[in-house]
Structures are given as structure tokens and as C-alpha cells.
């Protein structure tokens, strides 16, 4: 039986599994070996979709009484990058100067390791209690997020599973443990604009139609003016242009096509469809009235492609869940955590359709970087926070 009471040992076992998305890499098997001795029933559903890799997931269930709490997260990790930049092997789980190094240490195998240790300690402390706890752990959060959490939720729901609350162990703290609980997330939409022109010689622009001028006009209208000034619970909506490309190696040729991609993180001023309508309106306005067009009378010839399903904005309003977690954080760290909606997306965007969900995990400063690591002290304190949360949630 694996030592499930020690979060550092749990994390080391998970890090040693090279589970670069979407590979299982042994991580779910290691997690299963931790949870089965605690009485959990384990399912390992595999889901598939055309054009995407198969993904293995884990759903562990401890049937008991009272409200049903779901611990949620992912064991897949991003690639290691340049190995020469790592102080220690990324899958070596080396402890150096009180810190445990490895890919996934904070994002988010560390959170899962602490979930397990806290649950083991709680069950040992209360042998007379049998709470309703489940673990929903996916293998593609860092990938396309198609065959993971969203399908496990559908599968479990069809089997009759119902949840009262969920805690996701993503790294939520910017600098120190106890700073922030994520109670919501901004939405996200991604699009691509393609402007079609006419190739020609730069010395004879009247015989060509430069798509770069057109895309400058369109992108300028996407950026200005601001979409909003933020709301009570969310920061302002922002659009970031992530690439501009014409595929043109020559300096004396006007290209035939220009392409730009962008991502928008939006607040509760918008829904995904109303924001997409606003983007379309801005593009259409720029296409017909642009100072970049050099006297061209015809509109910019463009197309807009939405490249993925949008992530919808959400905010959790559940006093029992938030107060139990905030109380546990304050009891262990002495800090009053702020309630945050900043940052990127997570699988909480799927869970929120089934139950109230919040996120709290390790300090995220090194996530996705070379030398990703967490301190042993933070691992122990996070485990203590989760254990206190279990005490209060099931009180």
C-alpha cells in the first residue's frame, strides 16, 4: 500500500509518471493505488472523438452519507521543453533545498497529492464517518479538453451521480499560499481573420490589393475602443492578437493573403454569442470605412472563423462552499483569501453546469516553466487546508 498520508510522497509518485498530455503515463494507475486502499471504487473510462486522441480518465467514488463533494483535477502535464534548462530531471521528483522539482508539481499533480493525503487523514481521524467523496481526474485538461472532464461528467451523470459541490486543485495563488480562491472565470473565444487581396509588385500598387492594409484596419477596430471597463466581480474584457502572418519571404511583393488570430477573455457584460456579434459588427464597420485602404472603394474582402467552442463566463455563489474553504485557509495560514475571477480557463467551466465549484491550489509561479517546483511546506499546509475544509464541509 502506498503511503497516502504524505503529500510529498504522493506527489513524487505522480511526477515520476511522464503523463504529457494526452498520455496516461502511469499517473492514473498510481492514483488508483492510493485511493483503492481508502475504500474508493475506481472507474477508468476512455473517451474518443474524431480527430482527437483517445483519453483515459479516472473517476473514484466513496459512497457515504451527507452532501457529495467532488475533488477535480488533471494528471496530464505540458511538455518539458528544453531539458538543458532544468536543474533536475523533469520526471525525477528531486527534492532540493526544501522544494520538490518536476513537471506538474504545481499544475496540478501537487493539488491531487494533497487531496489524497487530506482525505486519508480525515478518514483515519473519523473511522466512524463515511462521507460522500469522489475524485474526477482527467488526462486532457492541458490538451483539447474534449475527451476528459466534460465527457466524464456526462458519463457519471448518466449513471445517476449527483454532486453538491466541487473543489478543483488548480494553482490559484500568485505568490503565497492562501492568497486567492477562484470563484469564477472569464469566458474565452478564439477567432481567425483572413483578408484576401491581390498579389502584385510593390512598385505598382494600383495593380494589386494589399491585404496587409486591410488586416491592419480590421485589427485596429477589434482593439479600439475597449469592450467594457470591467464589472463588480470581473476585470475588463481584453482582446489579444496572438499571430499575424502573410507567408511572404519577399520584400518587393505585395502578398495575396493576410491572416491574424486573436483571443478574447470576457466578463459578465457579455455572453459568448453577443461578444461574437460585436466582433462581427466591428469587422464589418472597418471593412467598409478604413483609413488604411489607400482610396480603395470596395470593402475589405475578409472571412471570420471561430476556431473552437467558446468557454462561458461563470461565477459561483455558494456560501457553504466558499465559507468552508475560506475558513480553512484562515485557520491554517492566518490569511483571508481574496475571491478571484482572474486568470485563464480551467475544467471548472464544465463542472459549473453540474454543481457549485471553486478552485484552490498551490502557488502557480513556476507552472509550465522549466524547473517547475513547489515547497514541501506548501504541500503540507495545502493538505492541512483541505483536511480542515473536509471537517467543516461535512460537519
The 3-state DSSP class for residue 54 equals strand
State the chain's mean pLDDT as an integer: 95
234 grid coordinates:
470581473
User: Above 50 in pLDDT, residue 182?
Assistant: yes
Measured CA distances, 269 to 163, 185, 318 (Å)? 29, 13, 21
Active site residue 76: yes
In CATH, 187-306 is 3.40.640.10: no
Q: Where are the domains of the chain?
A: 7-185+313-393, 187-306
Average pLDDT over residues 389-394: 97
Q: What is the pLDDT of residue 368?
A: 96
Answer whether residue 54 shows pLDDT above 80: yes
Question: Which has more pLDDT, 395 or 155?
Answer: 155
Is position 380 annotated in a ligand binding site? Answer: no
- pLDDT of residue 293 exceeding 90, the answer is no
Peptide bond into 22 cis (omega under 30): yes
- Sign for the CA dihedral angle at 87, 93, 95, 99 comes to positive
312 a known binding residue? no
If one counts every other C-beta atom within 10 angstroms of the C-beta of residue 117, the result is 27
Residue scoring higher pLDDT (129 or 45): 45
- As given in the structure block, the three cell numbers for residue 383 are 493538505
Length of the chain: 395
Sheet holding 257-266, edge to edge: 238-245, 257-266, 187-196, 302-306
Is 70 exceeded by the pLDDT of residue 153? yes
Query: How many CA within 13 A on the CB side of residue 91?
Result: 15
Q: Given this model, what pLDDT does residue 3 score? A: 66
∠ CA 178-356-140, nearest 5°, is 80
Quick one: pLDDT at residue 2?
Answer: 61
CB 299 within 8 A of CB 217: no
- Determine the pLDDT at residue 1: 45
Asked about 392 being catalytic, the answer comes back as no
Q: What is the pLDDT of residues 305-316, one digit of tens each?
A: 998 788 899 999
Cα–Cα nearest to 21, from 59, 70, 78: 78
What is the distance between the alpha carbons of residues 371 and 99, in angstroms, rounded to a whole number? 10
CA distances from 215 to 52, 224, 261 (A): 32, 14, 11
142 is in an annotated binding site: yes
Burial of 194 (0-12, 13-18, 19+ CB in 10 A): middle
Q: Select which of 99, 141, 268, 372 is catalytic.
A: 141
Q: Which three cell numbers stand for residue 100?
A: 520538490
Nearest CA to 14 among 73, 87, 76, 79? Answer: 76
Q: Is the pLDDT of residue 381 over 70?
A: yes
Q: How far apart are CA 254 and CA 204, in angstroms?
A: 9
**Phi-psi category of 25—alpha, beta or left, where left has phi over 0 and alpha has psi -120 to 50?**
left
Q: Annotated binding residue at 170?
A: yes
- Residue range 92-138, pLDDT digits in tens: 999 999 999 999 999 999 999 999 999 999 999 999 999 999 999 99
d(CA 25, CA 33): 14
Candidate CATH numbers 3.60.40.10, 3.40.630.10, 3.90.78.10, 1.10.1740.10; the one for domain 7-185+313-393: 3.40.630.10
The set of cell numbers assigned to 75 is: 494528471
What percent of the chain shows pLDDT beyond 90?
92
Radius of gyration, CA atoms only, the chain: 24
- Which residue among the candidates 76, 99, 372, 387 is catalytic per the annotation? 76
In tens, the pLDDT along 57-71 reads 999 999 999 999 999
CB 320 within 8 A of CB 280: no
Residue 7: pLDDT above 60? yes
Helices (H), 36-147: 109-125
Q: Does 368 carry a binding-site annotation?
A: yes
Residue 291's pLDDT is what? 66
Amino acid at each position: 500500500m502506498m503511503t497516502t498520508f504524505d503529500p510529498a510522497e504522493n506527489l513524487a509518485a505522480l511526477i515520476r509518471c511522464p503523463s504529457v498530455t494526452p498520455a496516461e503515463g502511469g499517473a492514473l494507475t498510481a492514483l488508483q493505488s492510493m485511493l483503492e486502499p481508502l475504500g474508493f471504487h475506481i472507474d477508468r473510462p476512455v473517451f474518443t472523438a474524431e480527430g482527437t486522441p483517445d483519453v483515459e480518465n479516472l473517476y473514484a467514488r466513496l459512497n457515504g452519507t451527507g452532501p457529495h463533494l467532488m475533488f477535480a483535477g488533471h494528471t496530464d502535464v505540458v511538455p518539458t521543453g528544453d531539458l538543458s534548462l532544468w536543474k533536475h530531471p523533469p520526471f525525477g521528483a528531486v527534492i532540493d533545498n526544501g522544494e520538490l522539482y518536476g513537471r506538474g508539481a504545481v499544475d496540478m499533480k501537487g493539488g491531487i497529492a494533497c487531496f489524497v493525503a487530506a482525505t486519508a487523514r480525515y478518514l483515519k481521524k473519523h473511522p466512524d464517518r463515511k462521507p460522500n467523496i469522489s475524485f474526477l481526474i482527467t488526462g486532457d485538461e492541458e490538451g483539447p479538453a474534449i475527451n476528459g472532464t466534460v465527457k466524464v461528467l456526462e458519463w457519471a451523470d448518466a449513471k445517476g451521480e449527483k454532486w453538491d459541490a466541487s473543489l478543483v486543485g488548480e494553482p490559484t495563488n500568485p505568490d503565497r499560499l492562501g492568497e486567492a480562491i477562484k470563484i469564477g472565470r472569464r469566458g474565452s473565444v478564439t477567432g481567425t481573420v483572413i483578408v484576401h487581396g491581390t498579389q502584385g509588385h510593390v512598385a505598382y500598387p494600383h495593380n494589386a490589393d494589399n491585404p496587409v492594409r486591410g488586416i491592419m484596419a480590421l485589427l485596429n477596430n477589434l482593439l479600439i475602443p475597449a469592450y467594457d471597463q470591467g464589472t463588480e466581480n470581473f476585470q475588463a474584457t481584453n482582446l489579444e492578437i496572438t499571430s499575424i502572418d502573410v507567408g511572404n519571404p519577399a520584400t518587393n511583393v505585395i502578398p495575396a493573403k493576410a491572416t491574424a488570430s486573436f483571443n478574447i477573455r470576457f466578463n459578465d457584460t457579455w455572453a459568448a454569442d453577443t461578444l461574437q456579434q460585436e466582433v462581427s459588427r466591428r469587422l464589418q464597420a472597418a471593412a467598409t470605412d478604413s483609413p488604411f485602404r489607400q482610396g480603395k472603394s470596395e470593402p475589405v474582402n475578409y472571412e471570420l472563423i471561430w476556431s473552437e467552442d467558446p468557454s462561458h463566463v461563470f461565477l459561483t455563489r455558494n456560501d457553504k462552499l466558499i465559507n468552508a474553504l475560506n475558513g480553512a485557509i484562515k485557520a491554517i495560514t492566518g490569511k483571508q483569501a481574496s475571491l478571484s475571477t482572474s486568470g485563464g480557463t480551467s475544467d471548472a467551466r464544465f463542472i459549473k453546469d453540474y454543481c457549485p465549484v471553486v478552485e484552490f491550489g498551490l502557488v502557480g509561479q513556476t507552472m509550465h516553466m522549466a524547473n517547475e517546483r513547489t515547497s514541501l511546506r506548501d504541500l503540507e499546509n495545502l493538505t492541512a487546508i483541505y483536511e480542515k475544509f473536509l471537517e467543516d464541509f461535512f460537519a
